[in-house]
Amino acid sequence: MAFISAFDGWLVLAVFGLAMLLITWFFTRHERLSTEDFLMAGRNVPWWMGAASIAASWIWAPALFLSSQMAYQLGLPGIFWFTAPNIVAVAIFILLAPKIRAQFQQGHTFAEFIGQKLGDQRLRKVYFFGQSFYQLMAVSVQLFAGGNLVQLLTGIPLLPAMLALAAIVLAYSWLSGLRSSIVTDVVQLAVIFVGIAIVVPSALSAGGGFEAVWAGLGGVTGKHSDLFDPGVAFSFGLVTSIGLIAGSLSDQQFWQRVFAFEKKSVVPGFMGGALLFGIVPIALSVLGFLAAAPGSGIALPEGTDASLIGVLAVAHLLPSGFLLAFLLMLLAGLASTMDSALNAFSSLYAVDAKKYVVSHDLRHPKVGMLLILAAGFLVALAAAWLPGFGLKQLFWIFGAVASSMIVPTILSLYWDKLTAKGALWGVGCSLLFGLPAFVYGNLVDSPVLIVGAALFIVTANLACCLFFSRARTPA
């Protein structure tokens, strides 16, 4: 049953898309873009725009939906183990970004950096495919979550809903590349915060206030009110922490911004981005706690993904006008990450696949956008049609792929004895042995297997990097 008419749903999508197009056109209308401008936004992004862009880009489907879901299902420790690693995943660039800027002033991608530093184009290709896969999943997750959201609230079928979201983001990203993303990120973050300020306090008031939140701190089962619940920490917290931190380190969206910011803006930009991001999952967890409170009357309809519990809480507690505001807020969050993913793959495709040169020919960057959007759309459709497969599973699988690159990524910046052979063996062992076990553990819902596979991915990688180090195999 739809909560908003299909007409109102299409209207919201049209207004949102037109607004993003006009904003992008207004701020970039006088520019004649080179490939460097399209990919790097002129390398002069100030810290305040950078902080807003980082926060908005990291406020993706998991932050918008899993925050409420984890509060609902796993209570207080669930939201803690979701929020804290997310903040750390952004804040870690306060340390990493100055290191790579000092070593690689005019870089574009991390794949480009590590390939040149270790002198191995095979490793560069591995990173290209790994980071491309991350952007593929970023696009598909936003389309999957956004399509299901629009379908649930408006009754618009999943396929046209996903097509509309894809078309909106491609349209304004096409105009000016990364600058489109950063300009719209600032606006989208403002929309998210305004939406939270309108919806969350109203839902809190209608749902019984802080007393109801307190009653729901244990989650829907009432068993998880201990912040440091060891069961949640083991089964969810450890895997989520590894996946999120590894994900940010493997995310070309962040590395692209590291190179695009003014040099003096890198540290304050990431510090501000981490703090701004943290507000969102904490605020949205209130909806999950309200839904989990005994007697709330909020339940998941049969066949509905659990990640939509926050949306259902708003629909249950508030009039449809609030739901429209909430829908607009969620669209802003989804679009901010999707446009960042299009631009991130655009740079990977142009620089690492097509051997970038400075020109006014934007063909390769724009072809990259089309390729990743088409592939992400197909993955989102597959995820929607596979029974028992949802946002949480997508989130963990690409977290596992990202984990396979975390060790050589950090070592390449801090350890001069890292070799390309060690990095290649580490990534290869992680993917060959760790990833299948991780995926299988998710399919059978085995916390022991999931955690064991996640730890294997990291430790096997580290062991290979150490074994094939320059200290053991001198030139």
What domains sit in the chain, N to C, each tagged with a CATH number?
A: 6-24+56-102+127-238+253-383 (1.20.1730.10)
Q: Please report the pLDDT score of residue 258 as a whole number.
A: 96
Q: Length of the chain in residues, anyone? A: 475
Instruction: Count CB atoms within 10 A of the CB of residue 31.
Output: 13
Looking at 207-304, list the stretches that DSSP marks H as alpha helix, in order from N- to C-terminal side: 209-215, 230-232, 238-249, 252-260, 266-292
User: Beta-carbon neighbour count of residue 446 at 10 Å?
Assistant: 15
Distance from C-alpha of 210 to C-alpha of 289, rounded to nearest angstrom: 10
Nearest to 399 by CA among 125, 85, 108, 144: 85
Residue 389 has what pLDDT?
A: 60
DSSP 236: I
Rounded CA-CA distance 283/442 in Å is 28
CA-angle at 99, arms to 95 and 105, nearest 5°: 135
pLDDT at 388: 61
Phi, psi at 61, each rounded to 5°: -55, -45
The residue whose two tokens read 């520019």 is 31
The pLDDT value recorded for residue 449 is 86
The helices-and-strands tally (H runs, E runs) of the chain is 23, 0
Nearest 10 degrees: Cα torsion 356, 361, 365, 366: -160
CA neighbor of 334 nearest in space, from 39, 12, 87? 12
Contacts for 444 with CB less than 8 Å, ≥ 6 apart? none
Could you give the CA distance from residue 233 to residue 71 in angstroms, rounded to a whole number? 14
411, 418 in Cβ contact below 8 A?
yes
Are 40 and 259 in contact by the 8 Å Cβ rule? The answer is yes
Long-range contacts of 92-97 (CB under 8 A, 24+ apart): 92/245, 92/248, 92/249, 93/248, 93/254, 93/258, 93/266, 93/270, 94/267, 94/270, 94/271, 94/274, 96/249, 96/258, 96/410, 96/413, 97/258, 97/266, 97/267, 97/270
Other Cβ atoms less than 10 A from the Cβ of 135: the count is 29
Instruction: Give the Cα separation of 147 and 378 in Å (integer).
Output: 13
pLDDT at 475: 46
Beta-bridged to residue 261, according to DSSP, are: 45
Contact 144, 384 (CB under 8 A): yes
Cα dist from 105 to 43, 101, 116, 221, whole Å: 10, 5, 13, 52
pTM to 2 decimals? 0.90
**Residue 205: Cβ within 10 Å count:** 11
| Amino acid code (one letter) for 405 | M
For residue 327, what are its two tokens? Answer: 């829908």
The answer to whether residues 421 and 387 touch, using CB atoms and an 8 Å cutoff, is: no
pLDDT in tens, the chain (475 residues): 567 889 989 999 999 999 999 999 998 876 678 888 999 998 999 999 999 999 999 998 778 888 999 999 999 999 999 999 999 999 999 999 999 999 998 899 999 999 999 999 999 999 999 899 889 988 998 998 889 889 988 889 999 999 999 999 999 999 999 999 999 999 999 999 999 999 999 999 999 999 999 999 999 888 888 888 888 888 788 878 887 888 899 899 999 999 999 999 999 999 999 999 999 999 999 999 999 999 888 888 777 778 889 988 998 899 888 888 888 998 999 999 999 999 999 999 999 998 776 677 889 999 999 999 999 999 888 877 876 665 566 666 676 777 888 899 999 999 999 999 999 999 999 888 888 888 788 777 787 888 888 889 889 999 999 999 976 555 4
Contact indicator for 254, 95 with CB cutoff of 8 Å: no
